[in-house]
Each structure stands twice: as structure tokens, then as C-alpha cells.
Structure 1
Amino acid sequence: MESKIESKLPENLKGLAELAYNYWWTWSRTAMRLWEVVDKENWAEYKNPVKLLLETPKERLEELASDDDFLNLYELIMNRFNSYMTPESTWFSINYPKWDKPIVYLCMEYGISKSLPIYSGGLGILAGDHVKTASDLGLPFIAIGLLYKHGYFKQEIDRDGMQIEVFPEYKIEEMPLKPILKENGEPLLVEVPIEDRFVYARAFEVNVGRVKLYLLDTDVKENSKDDRTICDYLYNAELDKRIKQEILLGIGGMRLLKALNIKPGVIHLNEGHPAFANLQRIAWYMEEGLTFLQALSFVRSTTVFTTHTPVPAGHDRFPIKEVEKRLEKFLEGFDKEKFMELGREGDQFNMTLLSIRTSSHVNGVSKLHAEVSKKMWKDLWKGVPLDEIPIEGITNGVHTHTWLQKDLKRLFDRYIGKSWREYPNIQGIWYAVERIPNEELWKAHLKAKREFIEVLRRKIKQRNERLGIDEPLPDIDENALIIGFARRFATYKRATLLLSDLERLKKIVNNPKRSVYIVYGGKAHPMDEAGKEFLRRVYEISQMPEFKGKIIIFENYDMGSAR
């Protein structure tokens, strides 16, 4: 049965439907140009090809179907897309030809695109880049997360510098995802044991290149009114909802795999949120006849865990009684204490401890972070020298094609050759960077800087118009040093550290010979009053005469802005 989009597309443009439902376009500038040709204003506003095609009049699509320039561009992109999706070989198939089991990756958030607003900060951006890179490398990779009806909030900052959270309700039918259906055409529902009942979750499939990302959501008629709201918000501040979200992600994620007959070779827990997955796996092995310790040993041998947070406050801890209550039905017939002991930290249940105790490999996200993590969790390895604690440092990377600026891509093509596009991980290729003339590199840098300044000024103008503020926009010199601080406004990220010596800072930013600007972009969690106060303090300082136009807050900074 044809979708709404397929039914309105002319025959010679039917491929647009498949392209719209695959986030491959997010790392193809040429594909983005195609969507821009369809409707420039719609694309600039939403960056969502499904919404774009749904809202484009049929007459416009028929017009494009007879436009030779558009058809040539369409054919070029579809050839590239089809070639990418059906390669003769990939890095993984060449290096691991006998591996035939999927790697299953679980994370609370994914930063794939502005049009899929299920991310908050660096954890999600890294997860999104992991998924895209797995696709490029040809890994047999499956990702699992949650679909949040309101996503993460849109940020507004009022006249006093206070953050206001706006929670849009996204229309699922306008998002680049599709429901997973049973053979009879009905939605697949996953039964997740929570408290004394089953909560039902529907599943959606998101295509990210060659990788499938599955998202669970409880907003179905089979659930109670309260259970339908479990996935309303990313990082729900209510203790009850937060524990249920993590049960849904971990236990629900494993049950989804079983429903799809997917048997993972490795489970990768990206941060501690999905660690309940391993309780489900232990329970299944015990049902097959293994003892608790045998089941735990097998689960450990097939689990890896990445920890991200360098401070205790960033790790999820729940009162152990609250976790026991939510796992009541799940633990029926099992020795509750053995399961609880895996995450026990006094009277708290620590999701990071659960992850470490059920994994064979633990890594931090940099060499320094690994050292910090060893000190933080050293009590788990009593008597082991600090430098021998098995927590490895693996430095975070990025998905090159998503984040590299378009003019730099052209320079690399010209001076390195296009091999860097397919093999960006081969170090030898990058020696050719030395061939790029300094003046050309600087020219590309300044062009990107001008584009950033233009976007920043546009953001400030929009806020001023919303609040009725009548003041000139900052006149930013493109040759100036612009310092960016793009992080969540959590207190441990220390956004105000730059502002600790205002007298010295005043001299730096107002030096007539070396102009300097500081741009802040980031959100505080809706329930984090201390984080909001940090944001308000930054705003307050930015309004002082000596810092006006020199310290600037980029309102509602997101993936679209970053790119």
C-alpha cells in the first residue's frame, strides 16, 4: 500500500519517498540542495523532507517532474544513494567477513537531525554520530531508543535572562520514521513489565543510511492514561517516569529484539540509562536453566559499556525501594536481592554500577576521563592498583561528513583527493592537508565565520522582535576571535568559569587591537534551577555596558544551528 507521499509523487520522482525516509541525506550536501529546490522556505524552517513533501502541492511536484535541471540533480543523488545502500564491500565486510551477529546499541537520546528532536546534549550527538559512522563502515549495527512526543524543549530567554521552556507536540506522521507492523498490518506492540502490570509499547523504524534505529513509545490505547505519557519528555524530571523510561529502554528494547527475532552478538550500553537490558538478559538465561552466576557471566561476556560523566552528580541513582516497586512484575519468580545487588549503592540503585557489574569492557570518552572514572569507581576493584583498573579511554570522535563545513570538503577534494570521503579514518591520507595553501584555508574559515555571524545576528533579531526590544544588533568583526561555549547548562559543566574575573575579562574583550567575543549556546534542564541560575547570570553579565555585544547568548542552540 502506497504512503501519502508516494501517492502524490509523479512516477519519475517516486524515489524521493525512499530518500525522505532515510537520514542518509543528512551527510549529503547535494541531497540537501535537492530538498531546497523543492521548497526553499519550508526546507530552511524545518529541515524535514517528509514534512516538506507532505506540504508541497502536487502541482509543484509535477512541475519538478518535467524540470530537466531538477531531474538531473535527482538522478545524480539517487545513483549516489543506491550505490551507498548496496555496496560491493564495506570496511567491516573486508575485515570481519565471518561475523554474522548484530551489534545492538542502546542509548537514551540520539542526535541524528534537527527533524528528529530526541536529543539533549553531547550524549545524543555522539550516539547519532556512532549510528552514522556504523552505517559508513558497514557494521551490522542496530540502535534502540525512545520516541518522545514533545522531544526536548525549545528554549526562549526572557528580558531578565530566565529560561522559558516551550514543548511542541510533534506529529509522528510528519517525521522520517515508520511504525513497525505485524504481518496482519496491525502495529507491533511490545509487552514491558512495569510495577504490577504490562505496559505496551509500539515501535518505529528510522533508517540512518544502512543502519536501523528502533524507537519505542507508550502512547497507545492499550495503556492507561498515565502510562501513555511515559515517553512525553526526554529526561523526565519525575522520578516515577524516569525509572519507567529506563525500564522501557532496557527491558523493552530487549523484548523488541525478541519480537523481531534479532539475536545480538554484542550489547553496547551508551551510558547507564539502558542497563536494565542486562537484567532482562539474565532473566531469560535463567529461564533456560542457567544459574544466576552463569547467566551473569554470559551477559558480561557479551556487553560493553561507555560511561560519559566525570562527576558523581551526573550518574542516575534511584532509591532502591522505588526500583523494586517498578520491577515488581519483572522479578516475579526470581531472587529479587540478587538482581538488586547488581546496582546497589547503599540504599540507592546506581545505573552506572549496574552497567559496570554486567559488562566485560568499560570505557570512558577520553584518556583523562578514563583516569577520572578509575578514581570514581575504584572501590569496585578493591586491592587493584589504580592504573590497572580496567576502564579504557576511547576519545570521542565525530561523523566527519555530518560536521565538516562544505568549503573545507571542497578544499580536501582538491588537495587531498576524494579518497578521504570513503576512508577518513586512514591517517596517511591526512598528510596531504599540508598541501592546502594557508590563504585558501583562511578564506574558507572566514566564509564559515561570516555564515555563523549571520545566523547569530538573525537569532538575536528574532528574539528582539518577540520581546519588543529595540536595539542595534552586535557588529561582529569576522577577523575577531570568537570563543564558543556550546554545552548544556548543568552546573558541573561550569559555564560561569570564564566569568570568574570580570575585570580581566573586560580588558580582554575590549582590547582594540585584538577583538574577542564569547558566544554561549546551551539549555538548562527544566527542573535544574541551579543550571537556570547559571544561564541567568551569564545573561546578566552580557547586558552590562562593558560586555554588551561582546558576550552573547545563542538562544535555542541545536543541531541545525551547530551545522
Structure 2
Amino acid sequence: MARVDECTYETIREKLPSPLRGLADLAYNYWWSWNRRATKLWEKIDPEHWAEYKNPVKLLLDTPHHRFRELLRDDDFMNLYELVMEQFEDYMNPDSTWFSTNYPNWDKPIVYLCMEYGISKSLPIYSGGLGILAGDHVKTASDLGLPFIAVGLLYKHGYFRQEIDENGNQIEVFPEYRPEEMPIKPVLDRNGERLLIEVPIEDRTVYARAFEVQVGRVRIYLLDTDVPENSPDDRKICDYLYNAEMDKRIKQEILLGIGGMRLLKALGIEPGIVHLNEGHPAFANLQRIAWLMDEGLTFTEALSVVRGTTVFTTHTPVPAGHDRFPIEEVRKRLAKFLKDRGELLELGREGEQFNMTLLAIRTSSYVNAVSKLHAEVSRRMWQDIWPGVPLDEIPIEPITNGVHTMTWVHNEMRKLFDRYIGKVWREHTNLEGIWYAVERIPDEELWEAHLEAKRQFIELLRRKAMERNERLGTDDPIPAIDENALIIGFARRFATYKRAVLLLTDLDRLRKLLND
């Protein structure tokens, strides 16, 4: 296993007073992001800093020494610190987990590849639903104790942040993020040098550095090509998530798939199962097939082995969710990789296009959609892959999307659940019959918890409006929002495929909603 550079980590440890050095370990593990006491701990150090960045590494770097000395004399802070560190230690070193109890003989990791991960605001490598789901997969895998390793890309500018200009138009802002200020660590080789992965693109080798992110008990490895060994153009491959340029997009997916598998090999990690989350990382299976062919297997034999150990999740029927590239453009960028293995390219062929979803389906033994309805739609979309198979027998199964409970349940609701269900729901959300206990929650208490969450949301909207006024140098009035009003909002993007006009298709029903 390669070592992880601890330069910034050591800087923080040396800065902290000895009794508080556990904060360094806590800062570099995103376990804190779903533990309310841990986030409260960061908030107590500097409420304004925490509200703006939600980044414990930057918080500890920016906090002056005298503030830590003050905290040592703060009994409330020290009591909370000791409680959080005890919980963290218990979580990271459990006597047993769900996975170890149910699968005691499993000895190989589950490798999960995705284009984006929504773990926290301080790791801005996500755009929307796919990333949030991937982040929740990682957190839940940690809770269950799965031997789970995730692979993705580190984007210098992430995905755009939206702001409103003085004319009321949406504008896109691309901040630049500094890895040394984020809760991530560079990966080093056995000699203590930064680990570089060689990825064949076009007629040359592109180099990628690696970073490690700790999310509870799970590791995410992120690749980035911004290293001196690359040309100026290649250094920009990971500048933006979902780069609109076809050239950069294909290279990103080669880096994620082929580069991701090469990173794992360099780390000595042999997957038991590979999970492709959407079609973007499907080039990983071309690398796996190529390695098996190098070992002497035929193309058919190698495909069979890879297919038998691959799971694929498709997420959307929307065309934007299925990358298609001119096949000659893919051939050009895989030239050094393919050499005389042209049959690999046929796995993604769709006429004169190369379809990443098609590649994933053809190289996986198990394909799932993300809801029952989506499975039905996906079977119709891809039925040509299984000619002659009845529609209801096409092997695309539904697995309904879920969420990581402790991340998304509001604190007011947590209190209600603790009171009327017991804290067992926090660790065992799927216990049979446990949720029937919500019927014991009095309507007025449930409604008050809902309103309190809504008040906090309205206050957030007010703060955002005030920040906009300050940014634009205006004093536009900030309208009061009635907490009893129905609020309809769209997260991140008001995209057409979210079908907002459905609200207007049944006016009688809409009238009842608005007036109830």
C-alpha cells in the first residue's frame, strides 16, 4: 500500500496544543460531516469561519494559536471534544459491523467508480443528484463496514456555482480550490515520492497524481493531471467537472476508467467486484479485459471474466446522462492503449457512435436502474441489446435510490425520532416494523419540527439575499416569507428535464395545494 503525504496534516498537528491534537485526525475524516456533535465542535472554534467554508482543515490552518489556548480553558468545548473523539474512536474501531457479521469470509474490496461524489461542501467535486447519491453510497458503505474503495477525479474548479447578477440573470462562477487546504492527502509511493499514474492517451503518456479522502471507514482515491510532467493542455484535463469540450470529456473518462484501474494496481488493490456508477467510468472494463488478454486469455474469455465481476447502475433516461462520442474520436484518443486490440472498441459501438452506457451494459453481469418505473423505461430503451427477449424479462432490475439517513434527517426530526422510536433507528434504519412507531408522534409536534426546519431555511434565504445585495452594492428589499406558505424550489439547476411545467398540468390539484 502506498503512503499518504501528511505535510499539511503534520503542520496542523504541530500547531495544535497536545490535548487537542485529535482534531487533526478528525479534520481529515469526513465522518464529522454526518455527526451533529462533531460539526458543533468545529462551529465552536469559529462560528463565522465555519459558516462560510464548512472546511475543518482550512479552519484549523486559519485559527490563531491564542484561540486554541482559549478553548483549552473552555470546559464546554473540552467536554464536547472528549465526547466526539470517543465516538469517533468507537466508530473507526468497531468490534463488528453488519458486513463482517454477515460476510465473514469476504476477502476482496468492492471498487466503486463514479464521475462525482457529493460528500460535503468542502469537497466540491459534485454537480447534483448522481454525486449526492454516490456520496451517500460511500457513507452508507462505511456505516455497514463494507470493504469499499471509491475512485473519482479531483477538479480544480469543480462544478460552477450559481449567482444572480444585477439584472436578475443567472451567472456561472468557477472558484479555484487548493488541495492543501482541503480534507484530502496526496498519495506517495513506497519511496516517499508522489505517486504518478501513467495513462495512455492518443500517442503519449499522460501522468496523474493521486489524493486520498477518508470518509468514515471508506477511502476515496481521486486522480488529477495538474503535474509538471504533462503538457499545459493535459494539465487542464481535470479543470472542470463535466467539461463541455468533447476532447476533455473523453480524456476525463479515460482517466477515470483506465487511470482508475491503473491506480488501484499501483496501490496493490485487487477488486472483488467493480461497480460502475453510470457509464462515465466504463473504460475501466476495457483496461481489465486488456490485462487479462496480456495474460493469455482470448478476448471472449477475458470479457467473460470481467463481466462476471462487474455491476452497473444506470440513472436516467435523459440523453444528457448517456455519453455518446463519434467512434473515430474515441479511437483517436485510445490509439496508444488499443494498439492491435480493436475489438475492444466494438463493445461500445452504436453505429458510428461510441456509447458509454452501452459499453457498461455489455461488460456487466448485473444492471440496475434506480426505481421500479426507471427499470421499466430502461428495458424499453435498451431492449435491442437482448433481441427476442420479452420486455419484462430483460435483465435490468430496480433498486430504488435511498439516502444516508444521518446526513439528511434534520436535527429537529432526529429529536422526534429519538423520543418516539428510540435511538436504534440511527444504526438500524431497516429493522422490520421500526418505522410504524412514527404514528405515535403527535401531529402538532411533527408540524412544529417541520416549521422549525422551514424557519431555518427561510433564514438561509434571507442571508443569501443579503449577501447578494452586498456583492452587488444594492439595497434591494428582502421580502418576508410566510413560514406557512408553500415553497417550491429547484436545487442546483432549473433543468428542463425536471419537468417543472408538470405543476401546471392539473390546475385544480395545484389550486388545492396552494390553498390548503
Please say whether Structure 1 and Structure 2 have the same fold, judged by a TM-score greater than 0.5.
yes
Counterpart of 2:36 in structure 1 is 29
Q: Is 1:478 the counterpart of 2:483 in the alignment?
A: yes
The letter of the residue matching 1:381 is: W
**Structure 2: how far apart are the matches of 1:132 and 1:456?**
28
Give how far 1:476 is off: 1.6
Counterpart of 1:69 in structure 2 is 76
Q: How does 1:250-269 map to 2 (within 5 A)?
A: 250-269=257-276
Give how far 1:360 is off: 0.3
The letter of the residue matching 2:463 is: R
**Structure 2: how far apart are the matches of 1:53 and 1:256?**
30
Give how far 1:142 is off: 0.3
Kept in 2, the 8 Å contact 1:110–1:119? The answer is yes
The letter of the residue matching 1:134 is: A
Counterpart of 2:410 in structure 1 is 405
* 1:472 counterpart SS class: coil
Counterpart of 2:202 in structure 1 is 195
Counterpart of 2:472 in structure 1 is 467
The letter of the residue matching 1:315 is: H
**Structure 1: how far apart are the matches of 2:471 and 2:210?**
38
Q: How does 1:132-151 map to 2 (within 5 A)?
A: 132-151=139-158
**Structure 1: how far apart are the matches of 2:92 and 2:324?**
41
What is the aligned counterpart of 2:346 among 341, 345, 364?
A: 341
Q: How does 1:220-259 map to 2 (within 5 A)?
A: 220-259=227-266
Deviation per residue, 1:28-58 (Å, 9 max, x gap): 0100110011111100100000000000001
**Structure 2: how far apart are the matches of 1:365 and 1:124?**
14
Kept in 2, the 8 Å contact 1:206–1:214? The answer is yes
Deviation per residue, 1:362-382 (Å, 9 max, x gap): 011100000000000010011
Give how far 1:160 is off: 3.9
**Structure 1: how far apart are the matches of 2:101 and 2:59?**
38
Q: Show structure 1 runs of 5+ residues with no match.
A: 515-563
The letter of the residue matching 1:282 is: I
What is the aligned counterpart of 1:489 among 486, 490, 494?
A: 494
**Structure 1: how far apart are the matches of 2:218 and 2:154?**
17
Kept in 2, the 8 Å contact 1:50–1:175? The answer is yes
Deviates more, 1:111-120 or 1:450-459: 450-459
Counterpart of 2:458 in structure 1 is 453
What is the aligned counterpart of 1:322 among 313, 329, 339?
A: 329
Counterpart of 2:4 in structure 1 is none
Q: Show structure 2 runs of 5+ residues with no match.
A: 1-6
Counterpart of 1:382 in structure 2 is 387
What is the aligned counterpart of 2:369 among 321, 341, 364?
A: 364
Give how far 1:499 is off: 5.8
Deviates more, 1:307-316 or 1:411-420: 307-316
Kept in 1, the 8 Å contact 2:238–2:252? The answer is yes
**Structure 1: how far apart are the matches of 2:493 and 2:361?**
25
The letter of the residue matching 1:148 is: Y
Give how far 1:473 is off: 1.9
What is the aligned counterpart of 1:283 among 274, 279, 290?
A: 290
* 1:458 counterpart SS class: helix
Give how far 1:459 is off: 1.4
Kept in 1, the 8 Å contact 2:420–2:438? The answer is yes
What is the aligned counterpart of 2:313 among 306, 316, 332?
A: 306
Deviation per residue, 1:287-333 (Å, 9 max, x gap): 0100000000000000000001113343100010000011001012x
* 2:96 counterpart SS class: coil
**TM-score for the superposition, normalised by structure 2:** 0.95
**Structure 1: how far apart are the matches of 2:127 and 2:504?**
25
* 1:329 counterpart SS class: helix
RMSD: 1.8
**Structure 1: how far apart are the matches of 2:457 and 2:394?**
43
**Structure 2: how far apart are the matches of 1:70 and 1:172?**
29
CA distance 1:12–1:378, shift in 2 (3 Å): same
Deviates more, 1:404-413 or 1:474-483: 474-483
Give how far 1:432 is off: 1.5
Kept in 1, the 8 Å contact 2:503–2:510? The answer is no
Kept in 2, the 8 Å contact 1:119–1:234? The answer is yes
* 1:484 counterpart SS class: coil
* 2:125 counterpart SS class: coil
The letter of the residue matching 1:239 is: M
**Structure 2: how far apart are the matches of 1:496 and 1:471?**
29
Deviation per residue, 1:434-469 (Å, 9 max, x gap): 221221111111100111111112212322343345
**Structure 1: how far apart are the matches of 2:315 and 2:474?**
40
Counterpart of 1:436 in structure 2 is 441
**Structure 1: how far apart are the matches of 2:391 and 2:336?**
40
